[in-house]
Structures are given as structure tokens and as C-alpha cells.
Structure 1
Amino acid sequence: MSLTLSDEARRHIAAFADVADVTPVDCLVEDDRAVFVIPAGEMGAAIGPDGETVEAVEAQLGSRVDLVENADEPAAFVANCLAPAAVRNVTLSTQGGSTVAYVEVPQGDRGVAIGAGGESIEATRRLAARHFDIDDVQLA
């Protein structure tokens, strides 16, 4: 699947790569934050020691930065998007041409999975659609 990145997203990715020596594969730019999709296996380098890399990118961009680790499988990708919420299971269901990811999250982690104002679940929906043609993500 080919991603179309806005000019702003490309600038954010370039800024991240300059600071972290890790090139994100995608970026969602929102009003007060940027969500970067980091290649699998490179999360440690992207975070940096004691979070220093993320802090430097936040200072450069002037916004909060969240990171998601990329995955080859859609269920693993959706689970990564919802981290740090504990995801027990992700089930993909296709009906009538629409694919929905049903995510099992313990009751105590539902707030984390949803995020303030729904920002975490909405970013998960957008990223799942961009990377795996998943039409919706629902917490079960």
C-alpha cells in the first residue's frame, strides 16, 4: 500500500530523522501533536536514552510527539497503535466490504486506549486505515 504524505508530514519526518537517525515511515500531524510510525525494531533508537530524542523532536517541532511501532500484520499494528494500553486480542472482521478491528482491552486500560478526548483511538483508526485499509477500530 502506498501512503500519501502531506508536505507538513514530510517536514516532520525529516526533522525527526535529523534528530533521531531513524526515519519514520508515516506521520499524522494534528493541532497539538505529531504521531510518528517508527520502523519495527527501531523504537529504542527513536525514543533515545531517557526519552532524550523524543524531547528534542518535541522542542524542535513545538508540539507533543507520540510514537507507534510499525508491524507487518494488521492486528499487531493496531495493538501497537494503542500502546501503552494492554491489548489482549485484536480480531479482524470483514462484512459488506468493510473491515473492522475489534480490540479487547482490560477495563482498567480503556481510558488509555481511548485517550484524552478520544485522540488515541482516533489516531489508531486513521493509521489502521492508511496502512491496512481497516475501516474502523472498536474496543470490545
Structure 2
Amino acid sequence: MRRPAFTLVEMLLVLGIVAASFWLVTPRAIRGYQVWEQQRFFKQLEQQWQAAAVHARVSQRASSVKVLFDSRQICFIWHSAHHMQRKDLAVPGSLTLVTPGKTGWNLQTDGYTTPGTIGFIDRQTGARYEVRIQMGGAYKFVQTTPGRLSDGQ
């Protein structure tokens, strides 16, 4: 007596459909993850910047922010009475760090700093993003046109 089962052709057809589905969905899933990772990074960058500014005002000690190109990180440093605290924020692999001009800022005890720009380019889409540090220590995120990044001056 024969039992019902899949034939080899049916099995190959099902595997082909599953493989094609993965082939079509995987790039979108990867891009979705990259977009989520970038959004998370920019939110963390904003939160760390605000924390450094608040710490400088409250503790009456300057904080500093440095862009480290070699390790692809943005480093926040707070000084307190007895020790130094450092928080490194890694730039996602889907972004290229392009910072024209200034690569470090000192947040004074009143939260003020000099203006500058931290620039990023999305490696896949070519979209350009800027984090503009303004005179009073304010932080502004903008998506720029596909042309050159501003010089932050």
C-alpha cells in the first residue's frame, strides 16, 4: 500500500518558492534594520548631548564632546569633583562619518559652546545628515540635499 507523500518535483518547487521569498524579503529587512539603527543612534546622540549640557550647567564643570574618526565614535566626557565619566557612542556601520571643520566641542558651565557640524552619509542611499551644534549649545538635526555638507561655520 502506498502512502501519500511529496514527490521530488513538489519538494523542489516548495524549496524554490521559499528561497525566492527569502531572496526578495531579506534586503528590505536589512534596510529596515539599518534605518531603525540610524534612528536609534541619532536619538541617543541627542540625549547624550543634552545630558552633557545639563551636567555642565548643574555641576558647574565643563563637559566635552569629541568626534573620533579612527574608532568611528562620538565621545562624551563629564568631569565631576572626583572622577571623569566617559560615554562612547558608536556610529552605525550604515553611516559614514564626515565632519567638516571642527571635531570637538567644550560645553561651558553655562551650557554654551562654539558652533559646528557633525556630518553623516548613508552608505546605501547616499542621503546626507547633519547634526548642527549652535552657538548656545543647542542641537539641531537636519537632512541636507544630496550636495555637499555645510562647513558648520
**Above 0.5 in TM-score?**
no
Based on CA coordinates, which of the two structures has the bigger radius of gyration? 2
| TM-score with structure 1 setting the length | 0.25
Query: By percentage of residues, which structure has more helix?
Result: 1
| TM-score with structure 2 setting the length | 0.23
